[in-house]
């Protein structure tokens, strides 16, 4: 279905028609800097990408036309658990608010015509233009994750931003694991050295319970340490440190932590190493390959 805004016509994407018109964007290093595929040097590669976008179940994509000229691509990705927004704009069309206008129309269509409950966008944390666009059309931050695109040398952090059709209460604000330990103070010191963890609260003197939060903000991922007497059954806790994986491993070795497993690449595309606490617990540290 064609969508219209004050300045734009959003025409249903036709790879045969639109590939050559959009190839200027797919072959531009500035446009493709944050894209999940490398530069497309041939129109046939661009056409293949556009065709693949449409193949996903639930996909809806449009060519963005301004005064008759095709200047971008926008749509709802298919084959994803939560409908995902994606957009691209040719460099000469930057700075005029066109994608903000187009995204507003697509979101309205998603909620009113498609009956979707929510949409989200995964945007690289350094992509300030797209982050500004997302926030202008009402998307707010829902979480962060680390990714690694095959054509890049290093992983990056993506911000997941979302918007619901109506008010939604969070299913869970956080999940915390409680780890039984003999000496809370010594384990806190290790968590501070390796993960930059902060003590959220302490109960008792000496402490019998401690809350730990990872990161520099008032809220964030965390766990609890509870004083216990032997025998203590070991538990395993996974901690995703994202793009800080190598730095975290360096801090662990510098702190003299007991490394139970050196960094390894897992079949599902993540790297892991494990730190063993004094009570036999394993902290499995995870990051992108």
Helix H, strand E, coil C: the string for 72-122 is EEEEEECCCCCCEEEEEECHHHCCCCHHHHHHHHHHHHHHHCCCCCEEEEE
Encoding tokens for residue 89? Answer: 């704009």
- pLDDT > 90? residue 212: yes
Distance separating alpha carbons of residues 23 and 40, to the nearest angstrom: 8
**Could you read off the pLDDT of 82-95 as tens digits, one per residue?**
999 999 999 999 99
* CATH annotation of 3-164: 3.40.630.30
| 245-254 and 184-195 helices, crossing angle to 10° | 130
- pLDDT > 90? residue 191: yes
Q: First-to-last CA distance in the chain?
A: 40
- pLDDT > 90? residue 24: yes
- What's the whole-model pTM score? 0.88
H/E element, 65: strand 60-66
Question: Is the model more confident about 173 or about 280?
Answer: 280
Report the pLDDT value the prediction gives residue 88, as an integer from 0 to 100.
Answer: 97
Q: Structurally, what CATH architecture does the domain formed by 177-288 represent?
A: Roll (3.10)
- Evaluate the CA torsion angle 268, 270, 271, 273 in order and state its sign: negative
Percentage of the chain modeled with pLDDT above 90 = 93
- Residue 289: pLDDT band with limits 50, 70, 90: confident
Report the pLDDT value the prediction gives residue 174, as an integer from 0 to 100.
Answer: 87
Return the DSSP state at 243: G
Side-chain-facing half-sphere of 63: CA atoms under 13 Å: 24
- pLDDT > 90? residue 219: no
Percentage of the chain modeled with pLDDT above 70 = 100
Q: Where in the chain is the domain with CATH 3.40.630.30?
A: 3-164
Q: What is the mean pLDDT of residues 260-281?
A: 95
Encoding tokens for residue 14? Answer: 């036709």
Report the pLDDT value the prediction gives residue 26, as an integer from 0 to 100.
Answer: 98
């Amino acid at each position: 279905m064609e969508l219209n805004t004050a300045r734009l016509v959003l025409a249903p994407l036709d790879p045969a028609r639109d590939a050559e018109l959009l190839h200027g964007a797919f072959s531009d290093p500035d446009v493709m800097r944050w894209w999940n595929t490398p530069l497309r040097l041939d129109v046939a590669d661009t056409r293949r990408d556009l065709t693949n976008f449409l193949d996903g179940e639930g996909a809806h994509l449009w060519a963005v036309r301004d005064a008759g000229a095709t200047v971008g691509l926008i749509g709802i990705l298919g084959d994803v658990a939560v409908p995902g927004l994606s957009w691209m704009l040719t460099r000469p069309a930057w700075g005029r608010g066109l994608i903000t206008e187009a995204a507003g129309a697509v979101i309205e269509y998603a909620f009113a015509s498609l009956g979707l409950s929510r949409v989200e966008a995964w945007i690289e944390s350094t992509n300030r233009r797209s982050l500004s666009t997302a926030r202008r059309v009402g998307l707010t931050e829902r979480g962060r994750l680390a990714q690694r695109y095959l054509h890049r040398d290093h992983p990056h952090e993506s911000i997941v931003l979302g918007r619901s059709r109506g008010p939604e209460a969070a299913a869970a604000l956080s999940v915390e694991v409680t780890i039984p330990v003999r000496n809370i103070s010594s384990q806190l010191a290790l968590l501070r050295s390796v993960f930059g963890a902060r003590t959220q609260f302490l109960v008792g003197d000496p402490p019998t319970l401690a809350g730990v939060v990872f990161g520099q903000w008032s809220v964030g991922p965390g766990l609890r340490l509870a004083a216990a007497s032997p025998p203590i059954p070991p538990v395993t806790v996974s901690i995703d440190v994202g793009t800080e994986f190598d730095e975290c491993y360096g801090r662990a070795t510098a702190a003299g932590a007991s490394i139970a497993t050196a960094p390894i690449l897992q079949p599902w595309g993540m790297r892991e190493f494990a730190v063993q606490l004094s009570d036999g617990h394993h902290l499995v540290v995870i990051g992108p390959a």
